[in-house]
Chains A and B, each alone.
Chain A
Amino acid sequence: MSSSNDPDTSGAGAAAGRGVAGRPPWMLVLPAVAGLAFLVLPLAGLLVRAPWSTLLQRLAEPQVLEALRLSLLCATAATAVCVLLGVPLAWLLARVEFPGRRVARALVTVPLVLPPVVGGVALLLVLGRRGLAGQWLESAFGITLPFTTAGVVVAEAFVAMPFLVISVEGALRGADRRFEEAAATLGASRWTVFRRVTLPLVMPGVVAGAVLCWARALGEFGATITFAGNFPGTTRTMPLAVYLALETEPEAAVVLSLVLLTVSVVILACLRDRWVNSP
């Protein structure tokens, strides 16, 4: 995937290893290789079984393009929501002492481990037409989120936001506070300090978090199908299209999966370098 860093890192690693203990121990190498195979083989299987001869034709089908367009649109909108809400949230968690901060930090990461379907059910119970907040949204503004594209964005943002918050919070904690203090001593307000000093300082973290967030939103399935439903053109994103295609036309599902896999690998390969280079 990302080969640009491999020569020097592997060279340095091998030299250091030789210096300490000679050959790498097989007790580590064997499980490591098994682990690698376990993670990579299913992806290879997708490539082997792909109907290459009809690939382009299948990709050009209107339903596929529609699902792809919707996926890209919703993942981008969800990322925008996550950046707007997640960066201030990360700042709060990293920079402000308040009671219950540890609990807040734990809660923020819950969607990361929660089964997405559970997330979808929770969203439905709160933002659904009969939900706690949804009821009020409908009566006051006539807005209902389930079965709308906005609902997809909400579901994706819910699942993807922790990735952004974690990434930005880490960057904030790693950033040098002296720049902020200097700016403050020179008379800048806290808002100006955040905007002109802190934000540029942690920008690599924000970008990395946003890209990861986008990739996660693109692959979101469980919360989307539970909360937003499944209708072509409105809520049927690529992962939902894959699931439905599997019911009748496994080959089409393979093609769609391949598209998602390609996008994910490209994103992560680009991101890997950023992670390695940023503090």
Chain B
Amino acid sequence: MFRRLSRWAVAAPVALVIAGLSGCGSGEPATSSASTSAAAAAKEVNVFAAASLTETFTELGRTFETAHPGTTVKFNFGSSATLAQQIVQGAPADVFAAASPATMKTVTDASPASGPTTFVRNKLEIAVPKDNPAKVDELKDLTDPKVKVALCAEQVPCGAAAVKALEAAGLKVTPVTLEQDVKATLTKVELGEVDAALVYATDVIASAGKVQGIDFPEADKAINDYPIATLSKAPAGDLAKQFADLVLSQQGQDVLTRAGFQSP
């Protein structure tokens, strides 16, 4: 009895560790034959994409899965800068779609990749809560100290674009917060915690009416190019290329422009 218990004491943690490791590996339920591991890996493509691509890429992912039965597209959405660091540190990415060439460069400098190709461009807008409590209607209004403004941190692409646009306009804005990605910035507007924020035009459309977008002329001086690349070390090389092709195809461009992106 005692021996059996002690054996369990070892077996349980070991089993847990094995289960955990296999869970991290392919994400597929373990199949019977040992030779399927390569095939299983090829049936899955890991796409790391900027937070601002969340809606469009999710849709394209579904399109891709329908066109390639048995394939799963897995997304990791977040700040491009964070994703770039994760890839450099060895995260298993097959495709990387960044919100700026600078973050893409971090990745392509560290590991070989094919591409990068610019697939869309995005423009900033002023986002204000639906009722626009601070009566913001142009970029200059953000300099009023009574207006609470959220910007993206300068380290992430939407923040870099905001700095460029404000510089082009010759304005100095003191934000109350520097958020870690564009979605977090938008949330602060949606909740009404800030009176205005600079986010991408696409995010305003994606918020489905929860925030109001205001165009401003200086946004043209801070347009972000979005590059996409397939990583050469990608375990699912062919699928990765096919996914990137879908994004660059007319069908992909239609989905993206409908969401407010501009074609390059």
Interface residue ranges, A against B (CB under 8 Å):
25, 27-28, 30-31, 124-125, 128-130, 146-147, 225, 229-232, 234-236, 243-244, 246-248, 250
Is A31 a contact partner of B10 (Cβ separation < 8 A)? yes
With a cutoff of 8 Å between Cβ atoms, the chain A residues found around residue B155 in the complex are: 244, 247-248
* Contact B180–A248 (Cβ < 8 Å): no
A235 touches B177 (CB 8 A): yes
Contacts of B150 in A (CB 8 A): 229
CB closest residue in chain B, given A129: B193
Interface residue? B175 (CB, 8 A): yes
B153 touches A247 (CB 8 A): yes
Q: A130-B192, A247-B79 are in contact. Are A230 and B9 (CB under 8 A)?
A: no
Q: List 10 A-B contacts (CB under 8 A).
A: A128-B193, A130-B193, A146-B176, A146-B193, A147-B177, A147-B193, A229-B177, A229-B178, A229-B188, A250-B85
Q: Is the CB of B180 within 8 A of A230?
A: yes
B193–A124 touching, CB < 8 Å: yes
A247 near B192: Cβ-Cβ < 8 Å: no
Does chain A have a CB within 8 A of B163? no
Interface contact B177-A247, CB-CB below 8 Å: no
Pick the most buried of B9, B81, B150, B155: most chain A CB atoms within 10 A of its CB. Answer: B155
Query: Is A128 touching B81 in the complex (CB atoms < 8 A)?
Result: no
Is A147 in contact with B180, judged by CB distance below 8 angstroms? Answer: no
The residue that B156 contacts in the complex, of A27, A124, A247, A250, with Cβ under 8 A, is A247
Q: Is B13 an interface residue (CB 8 A)?
A: yes
Nearest CB in chain A: distance from B81 CB, A: 4
Q: A244 with B191: in contact, given A27-B6, A31-B13 (CB under 8 Å)?
A: no
Q: How far is the CB of A135 from chain B (nearest CB, A)?
A: 10
B8-26 CB contacts (< 8 Å) to partner A: 9-10, 13
Which residues of B have CB within 8 Å of A243?
180
Write the chain A residue with the least CB distance to B174: A231
Whether B82 lies near A128 (C-beta < 8 A) is: no
Contact A231 B192 (CB under 8 A): no
Q: Give the distance to chain A from B179, nearest Cβ to Cβ, in Å.
A: 7
CB of A129 within 8 A of CB of B192, answer: yes
The A-contacting residues of B in range 65-119, CB under 8 angstroms, are 79, 81-82, 85
When A128-B191, A229-B188, A247-B156 are in contact, do A27 and B178 touch as well, CB less than 8 Å?
no
CB distance from A134 to the nearest CB of B (A): 9
Q: Which residues of B contact A (CB under 8 A)?
A: 6-7, 9-10, 13, 79, 81-82, 85, 148, 150, 153, 155-156, 175-180, 188, 191-194
Assembled-state Cα–Cα distance A243/B81 (Å):
11
B179–A229 touching, CB < 8 Å:
yes
A128→B180 CA distance, assembly (Å): 19
Residues of B within 8 A of A147 (CB): 148, 176-177, 193-194
* A247 vs B80: C-alpha distance when bound (angstroms): 9
Partner of B10, one of A30, A229, A244, A248: A30
Q: How many A-B residue pairs have CB under 8 A?
A: 66
Which residue, of B7, B10, B79, has the highest number of chain A Cβ atoms within 10 A?
A: B10
Residues of B within 8 A of A129 (CB): 192-193
- Which A residues are CB-close (under 8 A) to B81? 247-248
Chain B contacts of A250 at CB under 8 A? 85
* Shortest beta-carbon distance from B163 to chain A in Å: 14
CB atoms of B193 and A230 under 8 A apart:
no
Interface-central residue, A147, A232, A235, A243, by most chain B CB under 10 Å: A147
Pair B193/A247 contact, Cβ less than 8 Å? no
The residue on A at minimum CB distance from B156 is A247
Nearest-neighbour CB distance to chain A for B60, whole angstroms, equals 26
**Hey, which chain A residues are within 8 Å of B177, CB to CB?**
146-147, 229-231, 235
Once the chains bind, are B9 and A28 in contact (CB under 8 Å)?
Answer: yes
| Distance between A133 CB and nearest chain B CB, rounded to angstroms | 14
State the Cβ distance, A236 to closest chain B Cβ, in Å.
8
Told that A27-B9, A130-B193, A229-B177 touch, could you supply 8 new A-B pairs with CB distance under 8 A?
A124-B193, A130-B192, A229-B176, A231-B176, A244-B153, A244-B180, A246-B85, A247-B82
B176 touches A130 (CB 8 A): no
Shortest Cβ distance from residue B145 to the other chain A in the assembled complex, whole angstroms: 13
CA distance A225 to B6 in the complex (A): 45
Cross-chain contact A230 with B6 (CB below 8 angstroms): no
In the complex the two chains form, what is the Cα distance from A28 to B178 in whole Å? 49
Complex: A231 Cα to B106 Cα, angstroms: 25
Contacts of B192 in A (CB 8 A): 128-130
| A148 nearest in chain B by CB position | B176
3 smallest beta-carbon distances between A and B, as pairs? A229-B177, A247-B81, A147-B176
Q: Which residues of B are found within 8 Å of A236, using beta-carbon distances?
A: 178
- The CA-CA distance from A157 to B104 in the complex, in Å, is 39
- In the complex, chain B residues whose CB is within 8 Å of the CB of A232: 178
Known: A247-B81, A250-B85. A25 touches B6 (CB 8 A): yes
Residues of B within 8 A of A247 (CB): 79, 81-82, 85, 153, 155-156, 180
Query: Measured between alpha carbons, how far is A116 from B50 in the docked complex, in Å?
Result: 24
